[in-house]
Amino acid sequence: MGTIGSADALADVHAGDPYPVYERLRETEPVHLFRTGSYLLTRYTDCQRVLVERECFRAPGGHGPSGRTVHHPTPVLSRVMSSQNPPRHTRMRTAVARRFVEHVRRQQPWLSKLCDQLLEPLVETLRNGAADMTALAEAFPRDTIMHLLGLYPGDRDLVSMLVADIFPTSGPLPGQDRAGAAAMRMLIDYLQGEVVRRRRAPGDDLMSELVRAHTDCPEALPHDELISVLTGLIVAGYPQIAAGIETGVVLMMRHPDRAVFLDDPVGARLFVDEVLRYDAPVQFTPAPRIPTKAVVLSGVTIPAGAQVWPVLGAANRDPGVFSQPDEFRPGRDGSRHLSFGGGAHYCLGAELVYLEMSMLLRRLRHRLPDLAPAQPPCQRFGRLRGFTSVPVIRGER
């Protein structure tokens, strides 16, 4: 392994445009030993292998066949599903996967109404001036997951605040954990209270169904796993879609000729896939993978027990898999992107992501076909992409 000029590739990634850094890494040092002792992978084939080969690459949960507990690099996230191995991971995923999909399907008409309700004030504001799209980008997925779980809408600000503190902690950069840990404790306390309420008075929401599943068969879904599932649905459940929507809106305005893909549902899915490939909303998996034995990736031997981070945003721009990867081209075979991970931990919310992103972007195009930037958008750097502001106006084009 050589160096790439900066021993701190990750600090570069967190401070500015990551794609030139990824390109250099992929070409010169595809297995990069980071100063914390973690390995960063930037080639598609290496990332995919690590995500898919579960026997060889474990999550850091410490519940694998060896029973060995691995120190979690981001303890705040040590309880969520993506950090777990079988049998704990299998129990958690089995308990929630089918129920989650059913609730999303059932709530589709509600989601459609919510989307229109949130669009209305934006359309109104844009009659007289500019608006920032980030508020809508956050509100739609946040209100959706809160509704699916049956959380009280008045708790929106609390949930937003806690998630904002928890999210930046989840990545290989150390030292950001304290605020995240406190917020995670508060979120868990809040959810414990909600679980107690549903035990007394169940509703027809997803959380009530999961609480019932736990009560009926605690071996299939123990209490701490129930809480972890719920926590994960919130933490994994909306900042990423918000980032995807923000990026989608910016790309729609930047490439009006390609926004025509949004005119029909099939094209919209291709558009969303290309948004997710072009600028992966989450650049790293929430948890690293740990090789169970020494492995060789791109000619480099990684010892057993090391932390390995597939850099999804880098894999998605690998020219060996995507031709002219730095171009935004909906309609290419972009569905092979790794933005949802892969293998056993493949994103549980992927279908909800396609649903929400294509619904909102399609309606924006229909209701506000002349949407244009009022000022340059402000990119967010780090593990979570998207934008911190997307000021828009009508009719400038």
Q: Does 349 bind ligand HEM (CB under 6 A)?
A: yes
Window contacting ligand HEM (CB under 6 A); options: 29-37, 180-188, 210-218, 344-352: 344-352
The least CB distance from residue 254 to ligand HEM, in Å, is: 19
Question: Mask of contacts with ligand HEM, 170-209, x by CB under 6 A?
Answer: ----------------------------------------
Q: Which of 30, 61, 232, 267 binds ligand HEM (CB under 6 A)?
A: 232
Q: Does 361 bind ligand HEM (CB under 6 A)?
A: no
Q: Does 285 bind ligand HEM (CB under 6 A)?
A: yes
Q: Report how far apart, in Å, the C-alpha atoms of 129 and of each of 138, 140, 155, 339 are.
A: 21, 22, 30, 35
The least CB distance from residue 234 to ligand HEM, in Å, is: 8
The least CB distance from residue 349 to ligand HEM, in Å, is: 2
Integer Cα distance of 27 and 10 in angstroms: 16
Q: Does 93 bind ligand HEM (CB under 6 A)?
A: yes
Q: Does 385 bind ligand HEM (CB under 6 A)?
A: no
Window contacting ligand HEM (CB under 6 A); options: 27-35, 296-304, 343-351, 370-378: 343-351
Q: Does 230 bind ligand HEM (CB under 6 A)?
A: no
CB-nearest residue to ligand HEM: 349
Q: Does 231 bind ligand HEM (CB under 6 A)?
A: no
Nearer to ligand HEM, 374 or 390 (CB): 390
Q: Does 340 bind ligand HEM (CB under 6 A)?
A: yes
Q: Does 233 bind ligand HEM (CB under 6 A)?
A: yes
Site for ligand HEM in 306-325 (CB under 6 A): 312
Contacts with ligand HEM by CB under 6 A lie at 51, 81-82, 93, 145, 232-233, 236-237, 240-241, 244, 281-282, 285-287, 312, 339-341, 345, 347-349, 352-353
